[in-house]
């Protein structure tokens, strides 16, 4: 005995959140499924597991957790960015399988200077946005950003979504935690806009910034939840100074996901190796043991040459920083797939690559 259910749609009992399943007349359906989906996250290293650069740095820029850039200036204190570990006491992200997070911290209570700035960001490659399926010029097509965050002192913070190409446009929204030092999951759905341009190339397409603090040189009265022209003097409404002027300010982030659609799905956990390969399109730092890296081989009585091959083709010709066990390498070629350089060394002198870093970040 068989039975058949013929309906046009299925929604929750209240029916206030749209259809969970919408049936089409051709026998297909569209469903809003939130779990066990893959290849949806446009953010790389969303779980903050990969940190090729270092575990901690007091410099701004790409210095610790791969693909994340921290900026801290004029805060009255040294800003440190770092990769930190979660423990079972980190209720929320721990149960979801996150084990690392990205932190921006000040050394002590900061100063809310007019030119102070403390933020973290990730830039998504333009072609990954262009080909994502998000109809970014349509107000009825959405992307959804979700992330876990925690701040030492809670207040209203802002996120600034910046579209690079054409005439740059930006979208600011606010978020808060449920308390001081409390992990909170934030979900925000963002519509497209007819003024957005995204090139199908290897440049920066979309920047996701989380602003822990911005002084009044950078803030004013920006309207929230709408796309408008980028304004470097008006990233967000004027901010409270609670976070920067209380205790030792910290701002933590993990579980970042940006996906096409009007709702957040469960975070797409990827293996460490998978995430590392994605990161290496933008930065490759080979790991050498105490015997150092590749030999430089003699090809001339006074010079030796060495090469490095990258595990994946890089986004663009990278900036190489290569050191030798003695002396200095001169770079004579860098492509998207390999580097070669030479070093002055005579006869049986041994030269090896002591360290190497290749950066093609956005």
**How do beta strands 219-220 and 236-237 pair?**
parallel
Q: Is 323 in the site for another protein (CB under 8 A)?
A: yes
User: Of 330, 337, 346, 350, which lies in the binding site for another protein, with binding defined by CB under 8 A?
Assistant: 330
* CA distances (Å), origin 122, targets 140, 159, 243, 362: 25, 12, 22, 9
Q: Is 225 in the site for another protein (CB under 8 A)?
A: no
Judged by CB under 8 A, the stretch of 3-11, 85-93, 233-241, 323-331 that binds another protein is 323-331
Round to whole Å and give the CA distance between 15 and 312: 48
218, 233 contact by CB (below 8 A) = yes
**Rg of the chain on CA atoms, in Å:** 24
Q: Is 71 in the site for another protein (CB under 8 A)?
A: no
CA dihedral of residues 222, 224, 229, 232 (deg, nearest 10): 50
User: Of 80, 100, 318, 351, which lies in the binding site for another protein, with binding defined by CB under 8 A?
Assistant: 318
255's enclosing H/E stretch is strand 250-260
Q: Is 288 in the site for another protein (CB under 8 A)?
A: no
Q: Is 320 in the site for another protein (CB under 8 A)?
A: yes
Among residues 182 and 332, whose Cβ is nearest to another protein? 332
Query: Phi and psi of 191, rounded to 5°?
Result: -80, 165
Q: Is 66 in the site for another protein (CB under 8 A)?
A: no
Q: Is 361 in the site for another protein (CB under 8 A)?
A: yes
- Shortest Cβ distance from residue 297 to another protein (Å)? 14
Among residues 203 and 261, whose Cβ is nearest to another protein? 203
User: Of 168, 203, 286, 294, which lies in the binding site for another protein, with binding defined by CB under 8 A?
Assistant: 203
130's enclosing H/E stretch is helix 126-130
Q: Which of 252, 273, 267, 251 is nearest to 98 (CA)?
A: 267
Among residues 23 and 60, whose Cβ is nearest to another protein? 60
Among residues 174 and 323, whose Cβ is nearest to another protein? 323
Q: Which of residues 12-41 bind another protein (CB under 8 A)?
A: none
C-alpha torsion sign, points 275, 281, 284, 286 = positive
Q: Is 200 in the site for another protein (CB under 8 A)?
A: no
Among residues 74 and 245, whose Cβ is nearest to another protein? 74
Q: Is 11 in the site for another protein (CB under 8 A)?
A: no
Strand ordering across the sheet containing 353-359: 283-284, 353-359, 319-324
Q: Is 170 in the site for another protein (CB under 8 A)?
A: no
User: Of 187, 332, 337, 346, which lies in the binding site for another protein, with binding defined by CB under 8 A?
Assistant: 332
User: Of 21, 23, 240, 317, which lies in the binding site for another protein, with binding defined by CB under 8 A?
Assistant: 317
Query: Using CB atoms within 10 A of its CB, is residue 85 exposed (0-12), middle (13-18) or buried (19+)?
Result: exposed
Among residues 76 and 203, whose Cβ is nearest to another protein? 203
Round to whole Å and give the CA distance between 151 and 139: 32
Q: Give the number of residues in contact with another protein, rule: CB under 8 A.
A: 29
Sites of contact with another protein (CB under 8 A): 59-61, 202-203, 299-300, 302-303, 315-323, 330-332, 334, 342, 344, 357, 359-362
């Amino acid at each position: 005995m068989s039975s058949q259910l013929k309906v046009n749609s299925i929604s929750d009992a209240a029916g206030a959140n749209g259809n969970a399943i919408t049936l089409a007349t051709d026998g297909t359906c569209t469903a809003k499924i939130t779990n066990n989906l893959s290849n949806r996250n446009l953010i790389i290293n969303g779980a903050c597991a990969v940190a090729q650069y270092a575990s901690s740095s007091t410099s701004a820029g790409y210095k610790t957790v791969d693909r994340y850039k921290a900026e801290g200036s004029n805060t009255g204190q040294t800003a440190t960015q770092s990769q930190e570990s979660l423990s079972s006491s980190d209720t929320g992200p721990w149960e979801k399988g996150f084990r690392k997070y990205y932190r921006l911290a000040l050394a002590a209570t900061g100063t809310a200077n007019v030119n102070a700035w403390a933020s973290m960001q990730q830039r998504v490659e333009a072609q990954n946005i262009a080909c994502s399926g998000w109809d970014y010029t349509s107000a009825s097509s959405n992307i959804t950003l979700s992330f876990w965050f925690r701040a030492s002192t809670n207040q209203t913070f802002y996120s600034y979504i910046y579209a690079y190409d054409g005439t740059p446009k930006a979208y600011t929204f606010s978020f808060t935690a449920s308390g001081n030092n409390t992990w909170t999951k934030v979900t925000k759905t963002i519509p497209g806009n007819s003024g957005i341009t995204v090139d199908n190339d290897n440049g920066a397409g979309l920047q996701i910034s989380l602003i822990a603090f911005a002084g009044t040189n950078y803030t004013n009265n920006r309207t929230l939840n709408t796309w408008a022209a980028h304004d470097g003097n008006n990233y967000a409404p004027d901010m409270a100074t609670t976070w920067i002027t209380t205790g030792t300010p910290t701002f933590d982030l993990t579980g970042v996901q940006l996906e096409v659609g009007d709702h957040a799905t469960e975070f797409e956990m990827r293996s460490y190796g998978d995430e590392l390969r994605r990161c290496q399109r933008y930065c490759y730092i080979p790991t050498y043991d105490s015997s150092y890296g590749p030999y430089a081989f003699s090809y001339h009585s006074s010079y030796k040459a060495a090469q490095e091959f990258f595990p994946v083709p890089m986004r663009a010709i990278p900036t190489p920083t290569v050191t030798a066990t003695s002396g200095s390498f001169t770079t004579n070629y860098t492509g998207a797939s390999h580097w070669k350089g030479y070093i002055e060394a005579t006869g049986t002198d041994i030269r090896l690559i002591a360290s190497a870093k290749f950066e093609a970040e956005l």
